[in-house]
A and B are shown apart, each in its own frame.
Chain A
Amino acid sequence: MVLPQQMETIVLEPGRAEKNYWRDLWRYRELFQVLAWRDCAVRYKQTVLGVAWAVIRPVLAMAIFTVIFGRLAKLPSGGAPYALMVFTGMLPWTFFSTALSDASNSLISNTNLVSKVYFPRLIVPTATIAAAFVDFFIGLLILTGMMIWYRFLPSWQVLLLPVFIFLAFVASVGPGLWITAVNVKYRDFRYVIPFLVQFGLYVSPVGFSSSVVPQRWRLLYSLNPMVGIIDGFRWCILRGQIYWPAFGLSTVVVGGFLWVGVRQFRKLEKTFADLI
């Protein structure tokens, strides 16, 4: 048997868990991969339509929005076909809402892990959020198909898309962690999240372009972090206009949420095993 050169020493004391946290997070990166892979693998198991659900849901929602906002309300689309504009907004929004609702339940549905094995708990909700990319990339494929159908060619800005995808991920992690943590303690949040997601769909510029919002309200409107991200997606893909001050504000709000989310999560994390 080979004994390791140097034996690490762990001290367990009240309030001590902080010390090795970020190092442990790095050490358990493989667990992150495996859990994300698991969440992807079981996502559509034992469903009749399988992955088709990842296509049906956004396409139906897009059709409804296009008819209501584009045809009936006749809102402007800023040059691009209305359906394309809706779908481009739908992509980050669907990712955000799926990530948020999946993450909020992630710890509770992994109770046996949390109460039986040690690992940095941050891994569970973030892996779940990463798994939400499955639907996202399927959506991206649909979007590509739609662009070919509409013969719509994106410009160089599309190369910046990864930046905005990353931003969408970060925007989901912040509130996701926060809600996950409080959901362990107060299960009331299980009922709050579906409502929040529903509500968010209408206050975010998914079915319409944020240019319909009066100029003097734009900054206030951008306090919703999804405004900046959706605008960013449209700017990348549809050569749309972007109101940079608003985008900057959204990004700051995203950062703020991330900070609060991680802090709250870390604060409550110690008690998870006792509460769950």
Chain B
Amino acid sequence: MSQEIAIQMQSNEVVITAESLSKSYLIGHEIGNHRGQESFREAVGRHARTFVRAAVNVAHGRQIIRGEEVEEFWALNDVSFEVKRGEVLGVIGRNGAGKSTLLKILSRITEPTKGRATIKGRVASLLEVGTGFHQDLTGRENIYLNGAILGMSKAEIKAKFDEIVDFAEVEKFLDTPVKHYSSGMYVRLAFAVAAHLEPEILIIDEVLAVGDVVFQKKCLGKMQSVASSGRTVLFVSHNMQTVAGLTERTLLLKAGRVVAVGRSTEIIDQYLGDLAPGDAVYKKAASGGGPEITRVELHTSNPGHLQQFGKSMTVDVEIQTPEPVPNAAISFQITTGSHQPVLHVLNLDSEVPMLRSGGTHVLSCRFPKLRLYPGFYQLDFAFGASHPRRVFEGPHQICPFEVAVLDEIREFYWYPNNALYVEEVEWTSQCLDPRAEGRHSVVPAST
């Protein structure tokens, strides 16, 4: 379907309306620490009280909650928004912000405690790839099973069967039980079934978290075509690049409430900005298993994880290792908030020797003049040895920081998302047909 038609199809008709949707759960707490000073009699009394309360709950047909104090927890609180036909809405927020609860309510898995949502059209939700796959059944059988679970009719699945198999690239293993599939094949098949659903409204949660890069691209392409075919899509993800790529409008949730709705790029920047405080130092307790990155600290030019454009920035990495790591290699990438790598920095033992004894080491990497374009960035670490080849786990998406231009104002230049990097350049200017005023000399200009 061409872009033009797709645009026409995004009408002003509202297909999803949420009006102060709220969902509460009851959670139990233990009061204080019972170990140590509690007498046997007190312990018996406490357990007796808990038991009596559980019995009363059962008698009333209520849920049993462990712990002595029961608290009402609002996973979703007064959430209102609208989605128009053909719109692709992103939903972002930290873990526990209420994204999954929202999708669960909209896909009718659970009921709201308060408020209401009105949905026009058939909804299919894809909250996890491979829902309902049975390990002992073959690929072919699982296509039918999974399709039925996702709400496709048998006729519909039959009609799309070849397309699904083709997309998943599993023709050869169609009659093998899926438990013998590699995890990649499994995910491909699962996504393929889901991708061929044709509901009017599609709800997707974190589907692209798995699979290899090539397949992820394919999925992304498929989702893009779904999005541009005039279908309404609600898309939840932690991957900001995907959200930015697929959606125009994004909803930001925080602690169960809507913080902002608007253009995806702006909302993502706001979200990443919110993330920054408190997270600039990455710390991890050593597990003692092998070499580990135990601490990463970012020294920005200004307080508050703010880095002034063109000033120096230092990254300190603390590594604990029980034994020497021969031919160690450490690298990190500076990536954008939407996870696109911008810079890659590497040090090998043959360049600056490191980790040649057991113990705690600190490696420091200084950027004399950081020339990243204004915006939000973070760090991804990789860590290992070149020969014998070893790979250890390195932390990802840590130490978020913002690059800003603080002392230089130039018209027409510092627009957000214009670029990722600013190189030092030399401009020259020359006039080729000199008139009366005479010839210009070559004038160097700096950025």
Contacts and interface: CB of A to CB of B under 8 A. Distances in A.
Given A9-B119, A14-B111, A30-B154, A1 B230 contact: yes
B58 A7 contact: no
B128 A11 contact: no
B119 A118 contact: no
A38 B128 contact: no
Interface stretch (B35-43, B142-150, B331-339, B389-397): B142-150
A159 interface: no
A271 interface: yes
A69 B85 CA distance: 71
Contacts of A144: none
Interface stretch (B101-109, B278-286, B288-296): B101-109
A14 B114 contact: yes
B109 A8 contact: no
B154 A112 contact: no
A186 B1 CA distance: 52
Interface stretch (B129-137, B255-263, B368-376): B129-137
Contacts of A35: 148
B118 A10 contact: yes
Contacts of B200: 3-4, 7
> Chain A contact residues (Cβ within 8 angstroms of B): what range?
35 or more
A117 B120 contact: no
B137 A118 contact: no
Given A9-B118, A10-B118, A12-B108, A1 B127 contact: no
B112 A14 contact: yes
Contacts of A4: 122, 200
A21 to B, nearest CB: 11
B119 A12 contact: yes
Interface in A1-53: 1, 3-4, 7-17, 30-31, 33-35, 38, 41-42, 45-46
A263 interface: no
A51 to B, nearest CB: 15
Contacts, number: 116
Given A7-B121, A7-B200, A275-B63, A13 B112 contact: yes
B109 A46 contact: no
A9 B63 CA distance: 32
Interface string A259-276: 000000001101101110
B102 to A, nearest CB: 11
A113 interface: yes
A113 B134 CA distance: 11
B131 A38 contact: no
A4 B116 CA distance: 25
Given A116-B127, A116-B131, A273-B104, A1 B109 contact: no
B229 interface: yes
Given A9-B120, A112-B128, A118 B111 contact: no
B113 interface: yes
Contacts of B150: 117
A243 interface: no
B128 A30 contact: no
A105 B104 CA distance: 23
B110 A274 contact: yes
Most buried by A among B132, B134, B154, B229: B132
Contact of B113 (A14, A17, A110, A113): A14
A186 B128 contact: no
Interface string B217-232: 0000000000001100
B110 A273 contact: yes
B84 to A, nearest CB: 14
B145 A274 contact: no
Contacts of B25: 274
A47 to B, nearest CB: 11
A115 interface: yes
Contacts of A186: 58, 64
Interface in A109-154: 110, 112-119
A118 B154 contact: no
Nearest to B177: A45
A57 interface: no
Given A1-B230, A38-B145, A271-B63, A8 B120 contact: yes
A15 B117 CA distance: 13
A185 interface: yes
A114 B132 CA distance: 10
B153 interface: yes
Nearest to A186: B58
A203 to B, nearest CB: 26
Given A7-B121, A41-B137, A274-B25, A118 B108 contact: yes
Contacts of A110: 132
B109 A115 contact: yes
A116 B63 contact: no
Nearest to B149: A117
A116 B130 CA distance: 10
B141 interface: yes
Nearest to B17: A11
A185 to B, nearest CB: 6
Nearest to B147: A34
A30 B148 contact: yes
Give the 9 A-B residue pairs with the shortest CB-CB distance, closest first. Answer: A118-B108, A34-B148, A45-B136, A13-B116, A12-B117, A273-B110, A116-B131, A116-B127, A273-B109
Given A4-B200, A41-B136, A118-B125, 9 more contacts: A12-B108, A13-B116, A30-B148, A35-B148, A42-B136, A118-B108, A185-B64, A271-B63, A275-B63
10 contacts: A8-B120, A8-B122, A12-B106, A12-B119, A17-B108, A38-B134, A45-B136, A117-B132, A117-B151, A118-B107
Interface of B: 1, 25, 58, 61, 63-64, 104-123, 125, 127-128, 131-132, 134, 136-137, 141, 144-145, 148-151, 153-154, 200, 229-230
